Structure 1
Amino acid sequence: MAQNHTQDTVTIHWFRRDLRLSDNRALTAAAAQGPVVPVFVLDDEVRGLGAASKQRLEMSLAALAADLETRGMQLILRSGRATDVLLQLAQEVGAKSVHWSRAYAPDWVARDTEVKAALKQTGLSAESFEGTLLFEPWTVQTGQGMPYRVYTPFWKAVRSRVVDAPLRAPDLKPPSVWPQSETLSAWGLSKDMRRGAAVVAAHVQAGESAAQAKLSTFLEEKVVAYQAARDFLDRAATSDLSDALTFGEVSPAQLWHGGHRAMQQGAAGAEHFLKEVVWREFAWHLLWHFPQLPHANWRDGWDQFEWSEDPDHPHFQAWCRGRTGVAVVDAAMRELYITGKMHNRARMIVASYLTKHLRMHWKLGLKWFADCLIDWDPASNAMGWQWVAGCGPDAAPYFRIFNPDTQADKFDPEKTYRRRWFSHKDGEGSATAQTFFQAMPVSWEARFAHPQMQPIVSLPEGRARALAAYEAFKTQ
């Protein structure tokens, strides 16, 4: 870093998916240069997020603004095209530099490339920093200089790599005069959630402090049993940090170093936790090298597989509403609507049921998850859906079909999970399950007049149809 900046040099830090003060390399570098103006921009990329993601973002921004206020700082909120906003703000505050944490999704990269070029054209310094991933995607290659296409070799290639130690939150100096800011409430980021906003909000702990508390609790109390217990639907055995990681309230390096400390202390499940952190890395590695991952079948030839792409199909609508008649599927889909999250094992079950038993296209499920998940990220969501559907990166030599009942018997043996999240109708079942009826759209109510008891497609029939479709696909 050059050291020729004056003490009064103002740097803009453009917050995006790095909504934390600690281990934020872009923010630390900005603070080293002088006064900092933190800004978040409501642009088309943000407006295009799903309803649950925007609500979760709103909560994270409120927490970040409060953290900055305790340090005598402000979070400036501006809406518009990112290039225009940043150029205007730089002129207002006399900034010489704009910093941000690097993004890797294709649309985000295109936006950042445009922003960087426009800033530099006006004589401003524009610098992007690593920090949202452990490893830059272009630095992990096979011996032949190609991207990895299978997870296990990817894990072996990175597990011994050095990851820089997390940074503490920097001391921040405010500008002499603060620019005007829009208000978070005026943005109305939660409005698309409608009556479901309050239900989901009750299950969210937003902000950097909450994320660090969750990480400490996990490492102290849960990581030992993580590998053995993480798949059980009825246990709170995971870190529960997926949404915090999505919005950057905690960094992957903080998870990595915390997991390594636990492993060195003999925690049995710590290495498996590190593998899950790297599973996220692998998803971003794939998205960087294969930018069509969210939009097109990853494996060659799968465009010929017979799936329905009709979003109005009764089977898809029943799946979305938790009305399939398969208890664990319906419980999981309602957990999603109540909390904005879903247990990872349940995600695999419901995705397999949709794409195999119901023969609906994975893109429909991906889009529904993108609207309903508070922890949505484009890489993990796309890779997960394609992995389960059979057209993604998977080393398995067979066409995997999850049996929901078998999975439920194994991972929810006392039916605790199913009772927690599923009720046949309003006024019955657990208090938690009842909140689904408070959150669901009014337009759904007519569909819940009578309990649905039988599966819309029996499990044996669905499995047979899926296998027949796969056999027909293989012979094409």
Structure 2
Amino acid sequence: MQALTLFWFRRDLRLQDNAGLYHALKSKFPVLPLFIFDTDILDELDDPQDARVSFLHNCVQDLQAQLQELGSSMLVRYGKPREIWAQILEEFAIAEVYTNHDYEHKAIQRDEQVKALLTERHIPFYTFKDQVIFEKLEVTKADGGPYTVFTPYSRTWKTKLLSHMEKLEGAGEEAISFYLKPYPCEKYYANFHQIPPLPLPALSAMGFHTSNIDIPPNTVSRGLIKTYDKTRDFPYLLGTSRLGIHFRFGTISIREKARRALELNETFLNELIWRDFYAQILANFPHVAKGSFRPEYDRIEWRNDEKEFEKWCQGKTGYPIVDAGMRELNQTGFMHNRVRMITASFLTKHLLIDWRWGEAYFAKKLLDFDLASNNGGWQWAAGCGTDAAPYFRVFSPAAQQEKFDPEYKYVRKWVPEYGTAAYPKPIVDHKMARERCLEVYKIALKPL
């Protein structure tokens, strides 16, 4: 039986500029790619038309087609990773395994189980950084500890990025940061294992069906990035990249987008830095996945009114910009970044509903759901996270409406009955809700 290197695709669904794949292709053995439709994840989804699963299936089909053009194929399995790996080790002579880092707690547990299985057979398991520019403790304070405030983190991040400039091979005199250099996988495509096409599980065989939700393209114009700082806050404009789902599943390279942002727009670059910031928060403070970054905020006595939560979910709060955001999310799997802040602030501070309820709802609905970023954003809105808005800052939906959608273009797109008798009255008075919020937070945060 021929000895093989196995490369395990996860959040890196591309052949180009893929760190782990590059190193696999440079190994001593032919490379057999693997993708596992993980039932530990899929079984938690309650929508058989979940657009993310449909998108994932399409991505795997695309990868399979690209590999077949190279005379290779991908091993695609459906089940629990540890059980799948046990089967694979019986079927193939696996000499080495390569993959890219994942930072979420369940993914880390999964990888530890697989690594233990491989170690029993004396098979090396190599992992690489790929989905962020800087991870874990690569950007630290002077004392070596992790940053918990974004602005100084971003300054150090940029200093480190620009501290090591090199000429890019084949690009003349152009200099590029060492940390943004692409991995030239294409030079080694000949090292893919040459095999006939392997079967791919049908979406229906996994209990899912094709979604009718459109997926944003994985490209964005130079013009949009150039004007990003001027357009990104207005939800009625197409002023954001909508690349989130592609970053989430790695169908685009973070290094390539960071090079573009560095060239064109610092505000866009800052958004990529936020991704790194929240990823390192999750890695260094794993308790944030279930509780407040600032533990004292777990003392807040949330009202958790289920009827009000349902109205928020449905976009029937009587606050038009909140309702427009929730309906956009429910219908498209996307919500504008500014409106995410508004809707999250409304749920946690106007309705005094636990931020974890909203976080879980976004996790279920967002195409671009990423645990680190979603968690960081919700804790920011609730005031309990890193770099958080102070608890006494309570967004006024009316003021946000006036500032970012003054002509109600966004609202009328998603809430057509606005301005008619069919539109509901506000479920809570803003002034009363603000005062109630301040009192509840004040009591909870009183020193013990």
TM superposition score normalised by structure 1:
0.83
Is 1:376 aligned with 2:387?
A: no
Cα distance, 1:88 vs. partner?
A: 2.5
Distance 1:474 1:259 in 2: 40
Where 1:451 maps in the other structure, the secondary structure is coil
Where in structure 2 are the equivalents of 1:264-303 lying within 5 Å?
Answer: 270-303=265-298
Cα distance, 1:367 vs. partner?
A: 0.6
Is 1:224 aligned with 2:223?
A: no
Q: Which runs of 5+ in 1 are unaligned?
A: 1-7, 263-269, 430-449
Is 1:245 aligned with 2:247?
A: yes
Instruction: Give yes or no for contact 1:18–1:24 (8 Å, CA) kept in 2.
Output: yes
Instruction: Give yes or no for contact 1:98–1:127 (8 Å, CA) kept in 2.
Output: yes
Distance 1:379 1:475 in 2: 29
Distance 1:395 1:334 in 2: 26
Match of 2:416 among 404, 410, 423: 423
Instruction: Give yes or no for contact 2:25–2:192 (8 Å, CA) kept in 1.
Output: no
Is 1:459 aligned with 2:430?
A: yes
Distance 2:346 2:388 in 1: 20
Return the letter of the residue paired with 1:185.
L
Question: In structure 2, what is the equivalent of residue 157 of structure 1?
Answer: 156
Return the letter of the residue paired with 1:122.
R
Instruction: Give yes or no for contact 1:25–1:129 (8 Å, CA) kept in 2.
Output: yes
Q: Judge which range, 124-133 or 136-145, deviates more.
A: 136-145
Distance 1:36 1:298, change over 3 A: same
Where in structure 2 are the equivalents of 1:303-382 lying within 5 Å?
Answer: 303-309=298-304, 313-382=306-375
Return the letter of the residue paired with 2:105.
P
Return the letter of the residue paired with 2:254.
P
Distance 2:68 2:91 in 1: 21
Identity among equivalent positions (%) equals 34
Q: Judge which range, 182-191 or 142-151, deviates more.
A: 182-191
Distance 1:356 1:388 in 2: 9
In the alignment of these two chains, the number of paired residues is: 422
Where 1:124 maps in the other structure, the secondary structure is coil
Where 1:137 maps in the other structure, the secondary structure is coil
Distance 1:60 1:293 in 2: 31
Distance 1:423 1:364 in 2: 27
Distance 1:48 1:382 in 2: 21
Distance 1:320 1:382 in 2: 18
Match of 1:183 among 184, 201, 208: 201
Instruction: Give yes or no for contact 1:37–1:76 (8 Å, CA) kept in 2.
Output: yes
Distance 1:402 1:172 in 2: 56
Distance 1:463 1:183, change over 3 A: same
Cα distance, 1:204 vs. partner?
A: 0.6
TM superposition score normalised by structure 2:
0.88
1:15-69, Cα deviation, whole Å (9 max, x unpaired)? 1000111111111122223422211112244325644433332333233333333
Distance 1:292 1:232 in 2: 34
Question: In structure 1, what is the equivalent of residue 215 of structure 2?
Answer: 204
Is 1:12 aligned with 2:2?
A: no
Cα distance, 1:260 vs. partner?
A: 1.7
Distance 1:290 1:11, change over 3 A: same
Question: In structure 2, what is the equivalent of residue 267 of structure 1?
Answer: none
Distance 1:456 1:67 in 2: 52
Where in structure 2 are the equivalents of 1:369-448 lying within 5 Å?
Answer: 369-394=362-387, 396-397=389-390, 399-424=392-417
Instruction: Give yes or no for contact 1:73–1:172 (8 Å, CA) kept in 2.
Output: no
Distance 2:359 2:322 in 1: 16
Cα distance, 1:179 vs. partner?
A: 8.3
Cα distance, 1:248 vs. partner?
A: 0.5
Distance 2:441 2:276 in 1: 30
Distance 1:306 1:56, change over 3 A: farther
Instruction: Give yes or no for contact 2:74–2:198 (8 Å, CA) kept in 1.
Output: no
Q: Judge which range, 352-361 or 75-84, deviates more.
A: 75-84
Distance 1:189 1:261 in 2: 44
1:176-221, Cα deviation, whole Å (9 max, x unpaired)? 5458544132444644x9xxx31x2xx214xxxx42x32xx1xx21
Distance 2:229 2:223 in 1: 13
Where 1:131 maps in the other structure, the secondary structure is coil
Distance 2:280 2:438 in 1: 31
The RMSD of aligned alpha carbons is 2.4
